[in-house]
Chains A and B, each alone.
Chain A
Amino acid sequence: MSDYEDIRSELDGPVLTIWLQRPQSRNALRRQMLAEIAEALETAYDGGEVRCAIIYGGDKVFAAGADLNEMSELDMIGMLDDPRPGYWKRIAAFPLPLIAAVNGFALGGGCELAMQADIVIAGSNAQFGQPEINLGIIPGAGGSQRLIRAVGKSLASQMVLSGEFIDAETACSAGLVSEVTQPELTLERARQLAHTIAAKSPLALRQAKQALQQAFEAALASGLEFERKAFVMLAGSEDRREGIDAFLEKRRPEFKGK
C-alpha cells in the first residue's frame, strides 16, 4: 500500500505496522524516514481503519540514531530551519496507541523514537542509549526530557552524560520498556498486543492516551481534571453502553467508535 522509500507500511485490519527499511545504514533516522513515518501514521489515521500502530526496525537493529551525514551539513542556522522537529511533533501527535517493537540498538534518535511510543516491547537483544555526548552534542528530539521521565534522574543522567547503553532487562526494570521477549518474537508480541488494544473503543483509546500523556505534561491537579472530563465525556458514548451491556451479557463488545 505504500510507495515509501525508507519504510514499509502495512495495515492488517486495525493494526498498522511500520517497518524501518534501511538496514544497511542501521535504520539511521534521516529526514525522509521521519517524514515517511509521520506520513504513514497520518494516512492510516485519516483512512479511519487503524486503531493501533507499531514501529518495528527488524531483528537486529531498531534505529541507530540520526543520519550523521545529513546532520553534519547543518550549521546553527541550518538547524533552526531543520524540518525534523516538525516530523517528530507529527509522530507524537498520532492520537491512537503507538507501540515500538525494539530489537537491537535503539540509539540517539532511535531511542527517542521508541520513547515517542506509548508502549515499548523489547527483544532481549535490545540496547538503549543516548550517545550524542560522544559527538559533542546532546539529544535533540526529547532524549533528555522523555528519558528522565521514563527511567528516573540518575539512570537518565548516566546515559545522557556518559553515552553508555543499557540492555533490555535494565530498560525493563527502569520502566523504559514494559516487556522483554525473545528477539524472534518481538514483532509478534507487539502485534498480539496491538490487536488486543485495537479491539477496544477507539474513542476510549484516544482519551486514555491523552490522559496518560497529561501525566507528563501537566501538574497532577490539571491532569486529574483532564482525566475526569474525559471520563465524563465518554459517558455519552454508544461504545460505553455497548461495553457495559456486553460485560453484563457475558459477550464480546463490538465497539463502533461512536
Chain B
Amino acid sequence: MTFTTIEFVREDGLARLTLNRPDKLNSFNAVMHEEVREAMKTVQRDDSIRCLLISGNGRGFCAGQDLSDRNVAPDAEVPDLGESLEQKYNPLIRGIAKLEKPVICAVNGVAAGAGANIALACDIVIAAESAKFIQSFCNIGLVPDSGGTWTLPRLVGRARALGMALLGERISARQAEQWGLIWKCVADQELASTAEQMARHLATQPTLGLGLIKRAMLASSDNSLDQQLDLERDLQRLAGRSEDYREGVGAFMEKREPEFKGR
C-alpha cells in the first residue's frame, strides 16, 4: 500500500510512522485514519518490528480531527461522532495501548485535540520546547476523546486534568514535563535526534519483556494491589522463560553487551 498522508518506514527493527499532511497540521481525515490503521496492523503483526516511533512532519505534530472533513452545515444531518470514535480513534488508541512493543512519540509542535491524546497514549512522549498540548475539545462543545479523559487524570491528577479539559489552554512542553504529562522536553533542534536515538535503543531491547511491562502498567489502573501482585507473578513467570532473559543474565555474568532477540 502506498501512503499519501503518512510516511511509514521500517528499518533495523524500528518502524517510523510520520504523519504527513503538514499543510493541515497533520490533522486526521478519513484517508489518514485508513493509512494509520494499515501501518499499525503491520507494526502489530511483524515480529521483526520491535519499536514504533510516531512523529509529525512540518511545524505541528497533529491538530486532531480535520474539521473540514466533517460537514456541520446547518442543514446537514446531525453527525454521529460516537461512530467516528468507535470506528477510527478508539481502535488506534487501543492498538497503541495493547501493542506489546514500545511506542515513542516525538511531538514537534502543536498537539491539539485528538492529536494531543494520541501522543499521550504513547508509551514515551518526547516534546520539542516549542510544542504545545491543547485539549481543544471544550472550545467547540466536545468532550476530550482518544482516551484523554482516562489518560489525563492518571498522568497529571484530577485538578490539572480538569483545568486542561475545561479551559482548553495551551500547555507548553516545559510545563507538560514538569507536570509529568510527558517523559521529556528537549530543545527544538534536539527532538529528532533524541527520539531517534531512544527508538533505536529500544528496538534492540528485550521486546517480549517490554511488552509485558506495558501489559502490567495498563492493567494496574483497574487492579488492586493484590491483583497486581498476582499479575506480576504471572508475567514474571512468562518473562523468565524468554530467551532474552537468559541472554540478559548471561551477558551480565560474562560482562558483555547482551544481544537481545526480542523473544
Q: Closest Cβ of chain A: how far from B98's Cβ, in Å?
A: 10
Q: Closest Cβ of chain A: how far from B194's Cβ, in Å?
A: 34
Q: Closest Cβ of chain A: how far from B201's Cβ, in Å?
A: 26
Q: In this assembly, does A210 line the interface, its C-beta being within 8 Å of a C-beta of chain B?
A: no
Q: In this assembly, does A184 line the interface, its C-beta being within 8 Å of a C-beta of chain B?
A: yes
- The 8 A CB mask of A179-195 against B (1 = contact, 0 = none) is 00110110000000000
Q: In this assembly, does B45 line the interface, its C-beta being within 8 Å of a C-beta of chain A?
A: no
Chain A's closest residue to B237 (CB) is A185
Q: Inside 8 A of A182's CB, which chain B residues have their CB?
A: 215, 231, 234-235, 238
Which residues of B230-262 are within 8 A (CB) of A? 231, 234-235, 237-238
- The 8 A CB mask of A156-186 against B (1 = contact, 0 = none) is 0000000000000000000000000110110
Q: Closest Cβ of chain B: how far from A30's Cβ, in Å?
A: 29
What secondary structure prevails in chain B residues at the interface with A? helix
User: How many angstroms between the C-alpha atoms of A184 and B212 in the bound complex?
Assistant: 11
User: How many angstroms between the C-alpha atoms of A181 and B234 in the bound complex?
Assistant: 8
Q: Inside 8 A of A185's CB, which chain B residues have their CB?
A: 234, 237-238
Q: Closest Cβ of chain A: how far from B226's Cβ, in Å?
A: 14
Q: Closest Cβ of chain A: how far from B93's Cβ, in Å?
A: 17
User: How many angstroms between the C-alpha atoms of A184 and B237 in the bound complex?
Assistant: 10
Q: Inside 8 A of B234's CB, which chain A residues have their CB?
A: 181-182, 185
User: How many angstroms between the C-alpha atoms of A145 and B110 in the bound complex?
Assistant: 56
Q: Inside 8 A of B238's CB, which chain A residues have their CB?
A: 182, 184-185
- The 8 A CB mask of A25-64 against B (1 = contact, 0 = none) is 0000000000000000000000000000000000000000
User: How many angstroms between the C-alpha atoms of A181 and B233 in the bound complex?
Assistant: 11
User: How many angstroms between the C-alpha atoms of A185 and B235 in the bound complex?
Assistant: 9
Q: Inside 8 A of A181's CB, which chain B residues have their CB?
A: 234
- The 8 A CB mask of B214-226 against A (1 = contact, 0 = none) is 0100000000000
Chain A's closest residue to B235 (CB) is A182
- The 8 A CB mask of A183-219 against B (1 = contact, 0 = none) is 0110000000000000000000000000000000000
User: How many angstroms between the C-alpha atoms of A181 and B238 in the bound complex?
Assistant: 12
Which residues of A54-95 are within 8 A (CB) of B? none
Q: Inside 8 A of B215's CB, which chain A residues have their CB?
A: 182
Q: Closest Cβ of chain A: how far from B243's Cβ, in Å?
A: 15
User: How many angstroms between the C-alpha atoms of A158 and B140 in the bound complex?
Assistant: 37
Q: Add 7 more A-B contacts to A184-B238, A185-B234, A185-B237 (CB < 8 A).
A: A181-B234, A182-B215, A182-B231, A182-B234, A182-B235, A182-B238, A185-B238
10 interchain pairs, CB-CB under 8 A: A181-B234, A182-B215, A182-B231, A182-B234, A182-B235, A182-B238, A184-B238, A185-B234, A185-B237, A185-B238
Chain B residues proximal to chain A, CB less than 8 Å:
215, 231, 234-235, 237-238
6 smallest CB-CB distances across A and B, nearest first, come from: A182-B234, A184-B238, A185-B234, A181-B234, A182-B238, A182-B235
